[in-house]
Structure 1
Amino acid sequence: MPSLKEIKTRIASVNSTRKITSAMKMVASSKLHHAQVAIQNMLPYENQLEHILKSFLLSTPDTDTPFEGSHAELKRVALVVFSSNSSLCGGFNNNVIKMMLETIDEYKSQGVDDIIIYPIGRKIEEKVKKLGLPCAGSFMDLVDKPKSAPCADIVRELGNLFLKGEIDKVELIYHHFKSAGSQILTRKTLLPIDLSTETIGENNDRDLSSNVATAKAQEYLRKKHAKERNEEKQDVAINDDFIVEPDLHTVLSSLIPKQLHLMMYTALLDSIASEHAARMVAMQTATDNADELLRDLNLQFNKSRQAAITNELLDIVGGSSNN
Structure 2
Amino acid sequence: MASLKEVKGRIASVNSTLKITSAMKMVASAKLHRAQGAIENMLPYERKLNGILSGFLSAEGSVSSPFAEKREVQRVAIVAVSSNSSLCGAFNANVAKKLHETIASYGKLKRENILIFPIGKKIAEATRKEGFEPQGDYQKMAEKPTYKETSDLAARLMKMFANHEIDRVELIYNHFKSTAVQVLTREEYLPIDTEQQKGKGLSTDYIVEPDRETVVNTLIPQVLGLKIFTVLLDSNAAEHAARTIAMQMATDNAIELIQELTIQYNKTRQQLITNELLDMMGSEIGND
TM bin (shorter chain): over 0.9
Unaligned runs of 5+ in 1: 202-236
Moved more, 297-306 or 43-52: 43-52
In 2: Cα distance, 1:267 partner to 1:48 partner = 16
Q: Which residue of 2 aligns with 1:87?
A: 86
Over residues 82-136 of structure 1, what are the superposed CA-to-partner deviations in whole Å (9 max), with x where a residue is unaligned?
000001111111111111111111101x335410111100111122234430321
Cα separation, partners in 2 of 1:200 and 1:318, compared to 1, 3 Å: farther
Tell me, what secondary structure is at the counterpart of 2:106?
helix
Moved more, 247-256 or 310-319: 310-319
Over residues 133-188 of structure 1, what are the superposed CA-to-partner deviations in whole Å (9 max), with x where a residue is unaligned?
03210011112211111111111111111111110000000001111111111101
Tell me, what secondary structure is at the counterpart of 2:188?
strand
- The counterpart of 2:268, out of the listed 280, 284, 304, is 304
8 Å Cα contact 2:88-2:243 kept in structure 1? yes
8 Å Cα contact 2:169-2:190 kept in structure 1? yes
Alignment of 1:1-323 (within 5 A): 1-60=1-60, 62-71=62-71, 73-108=72-107, 110-113=108-111, 114-197=113-196, 238-323=202-287
Cα separation, partners in 2 of 1:121 and 1:307, compared to 1, 3 Å: same
Over residues 201-223 of structure 1, what are the superposed CA-to-partner deviations in whole Å (9 max), with x where a residue is unaligned?
6xxxxxxxxxxxxxxxxxxxxxx
8 Å Cα contact 1:58-1:197 kept in structure 2? no
Cα separation, partners in 2 of 1:33 and 1:200, compared to 1, 3 Å: farther
Overall identity of the aligned pairs, in %: 53
Cα separation, partners in 2 of 1:281 and 1:200, compared to 1, 3 Å: farther
C-alpha displacement of 1:200: 6.7
Tell me, what secondary structure is at the counterpart of 2:38?
helix
Cα separation, partners in 2 of 1:176 and 1:199, compared to 1, 3 Å: farther
Cα separation, partners in 2 of 1:258 and 1:275, compared to 1, 3 Å: same
Over residues 218-274 of structure 1, what are the superposed CA-to-partner deviations in whole Å (9 max), with x where a residue is unaligned?
xxxxxxxxxxxxxxxxxxx63332111111111111110111112111111111111
Tell me, what secondary structure is at the counterpart of 1:179?
coil
8 Å Cα contact 1:81-1:118 kept in structure 2? yes
8 Å Cα contact 1:90-1:282 kept in structure 2? yes
In 1: Cα distance, 2:8 partner to 2:283 partner = 30
Cα separation, partners in 2 of 1:179 and 1:161, compared to 1, 3 Å: same
In 2: Cα distance, 1:179 partner to 1:61 partner = 40
> Root-mean-square deviation (CA), in Å?
1.6
Tell me, what secondary structure is at the counterpart of 1:138?
coil
Q: Which residue of 2 aligns with 1:233?
A: none
Over residues 44-89 of structure 1, what are the superposed CA-to-partner deviations in whole Å (9 max), with x where a residue is unaligned?
2112212211221222352232111212x21100000000000111
Letter matched to residue 49 of structure 1: L
C-alpha displacement of 1:313: 1.2
In 1: Cα distance, 2:252 partner to 2:80 partner = 32
C-alpha displacement of 1:198: 6.0
Count of matched residue pairs = 286
In 1: Cα distance, 2:105 partner to 2:203 partner = 40
C-alpha displacement of 1:199: 7.6
8 Å Cα contact 1:79-1:170 kept in structure 2? yes
